[in-house]
Homo-oligomer: A and B are copies of this chain.
């Protein structure tokens, strides 16, 4: 069906940049030249409020397809469904782009506190962990809060089970996750270097609901692989209190997880072709895979729904910007990033013409704004555009944009943005069996779809693209 793009008279950037130096409360609403973008926003808000399209997509993905760990039937069902849905929504060049993914499967997982008293502990294997022997691994617990503390324990760790104990706190930007996630990712290898027989970690979460939080861990070349699991906050706290009171704590851990041969999977790609510069591409995306315990509603069904709905909204409303907007639903963000790496590799030649990439992978809390990694002045330009999102309160723009999936494009200098969600409660449910549809507020999800659609449209329509990441800052972050 043909559509008539809305033409914009957009040129208020420079004036707005000057105004940015003023405190935000003093800023007048954008006036000259910006009515068309305001009109775009109004149409997006209205359409999404009435259609609830993002929520409907998320409901299907979580209720009907469910868990989507790489290599699982759910992941493949998600690939097939999302491609079909994008086609049904009228998008162009819908295709799957093949990637091979790790195929790790969970098995039995139990743990028992053996002394000072017998008690079941709730655990879940960390992604990519090796199994224990069938009879489990038994050992005394050595608790540490950091790698420094681990190293200071020296030989006392040998033959023991290391428990990393580092409670997290709620924060709108999820600030305490980073350092805790490093313990989770490298913890098994670091413990193994000192002779530990297994590794446990207090679940990386901000609510004690007896839910173990899984997540990926990575062994190191040349270091012995030991089993690794997360233990529910309550159980870790119990062990912590017992140790604090001077008890020796012994635990048996049994994991039946396995790593199978790599499986074939795919990124799902769809486009809204640019009206005048179709060869220039703005990527938006989230990740299709999820952990296996829940249905991946906040991680990252929301990002997938926001991305797909952005495409549907723009298509439905006939909002066709100068440049091509390309949706990429990435596979395997959680345990390998083969989708993100695969996309950047397969499109290496084209990355020079990628004008920006926006990822949504921080849940479905209300949108707060964006974060941006770009060349000088890029952040300010995004901030200027974000001022339109005042009615959604999504105006706060911070540095350090990006995301696991779009990270590999950094090497080509592609400006990287993240849609920022309020993460206050994100880590209550992140990577648990309770990451399900009910954790998503339909109106907050709708606001996210609108914020993403607006920013994607505005950036793809601008006369000049965002300044690229300078050469000396293109090394991909760990």
A interface with B by C-beta (< 8 Å): 59, 63-66, 116-117, 119, 122, 207-211, 233-234, 237-238, 241-242, 294, 432-434, 436-439
Contact = CB atoms under 8 A, between A and B. Distances in A.
A172 B65 CA distance: 38
A438 B232 CA distance: 12
A116 B207 CA distance: 32
A241 B437 CA distance: 11
A66 B433 contact: no
Nearest to A209: B209
16 contacts: A63-B238, A63-B242, A64-B116, A64-B117, A65-B117, A66-B117, A122-B433, A209-B210, A209-B211, A210-B294, A210-B433, A210-B434, A234-B436, A234-B438, A238-B436, A238-B437
B63 A234 contact: no
B117 A241 contact: no
Contacts of A122: 433
Given A234-B438, A438-B234, A438-B237, A432 B63 contact: no
A233 to B, nearest CB: 8
A210 B211 CA distance: 8
A139 to B, nearest CB: 21
Contacts of A241: 59, 63
A436 B232 CA distance: 12
A434 B232 CA distance: 10
A436 B210 CA distance: 9
Given A64-B117, A209-B209, A237-B438, 13 more contacts: A63-B238, A63-B241, A63-B242, A66-B119, A208-B436, A208-B438, A208-B439, A210-B211, A210-B294, A210-B432, A210-B434, A234-B434, A237-B437
Contacts of A209: 207, 209-211, 434
Contacts of A437: 234, 237-238
A470 B238 CA distance: 48
A406 to B, nearest CB: 31
A212 B13 CA distance: 54
Contacts of A233: 438
A338 to B, nearest CB: 26
Nearest to A241: B63
Nearest to A294: B210
Contacts of A436: 208, 210, 234, 238
A210 to B, nearest CB: 4
A113 to B, nearest CB: 9
A297 to B, nearest CB: 10
A241 to B, nearest CB: 6
A256 to B, nearest CB: 15
Contacts of A439: 208
A117 B432 CA distance: 20
A122 B208 CA distance: 18
Taking each of A65, A116, A433, which has the highest tally of chain B beta carbons within 10 Å of its own beta carbon?
A433
A361 to B, nearest CB: 22
A98 to B, nearest CB: 25
A115 to B, nearest CB: 12
A211 B207 CA distance: 13
Contacts of A211: 209-211
Nearest to A438: B208
A105 to B, nearest CB: 14
Nearest to A238: B63
